[in-house]
Structure 1
Amino acid sequence: MTRPAQTDQSALTHAATPAVVALYRRAFAEFGGRALWNIREVEAEPTLEEVFAITRQLRTEGDMYARRLAEQIEQTARADL
């Protein structure tokens, strides 16, 4: 029996690609005050771990548009893993 492939945890500590960073910045620009009010935006290049942290917050605190952006961020970030 084979085990399912697991994401390498060290991959989450690498800087995100420019496409992911652009979506990260967009999330703060559009939903910072409503859905990301308790998370500080990373000024430097965010890691994938920091990017995935805001997607959880967008899903729980945001509206339908925030959830859609969270899905888009996750899809783009997972393509980089």
Structure 2
Amino acid sequence: MRVSRLAVLFFTSSTLADPIQTREASDVVFKVTDFAAFMADPNVDGAQSNLSFHVTDTRLDYFAEVDCVVPNTYFSHA
């Protein structure tokens, strides 16, 4: 009984002690440019916050571009 418990503890601790395998970074796939963000003062009525950026997928077989825009957010206080 004691031997089986020790075996379980040994195998459990040996698997947990293994370091995380290092990974090679691949080439850049997505390129983000033209990042712009504005956070308005929430205490000002009618103030707008927004966020926008451009993403390019640089893979030859999947090349694509898109503009991402989070619409203006309006604050109003009663």
- Structure in which a larger fraction of residues adopt helix: 1
- Structure in which a larger fraction of residues adopt strand: 2
Give the TM-score normalised by the residue count of structure 2.
Answer: 0.19
Give the TM-score normalised by the residue count of structure 1.
Answer: 0.19
Higher-Rg structure is 2
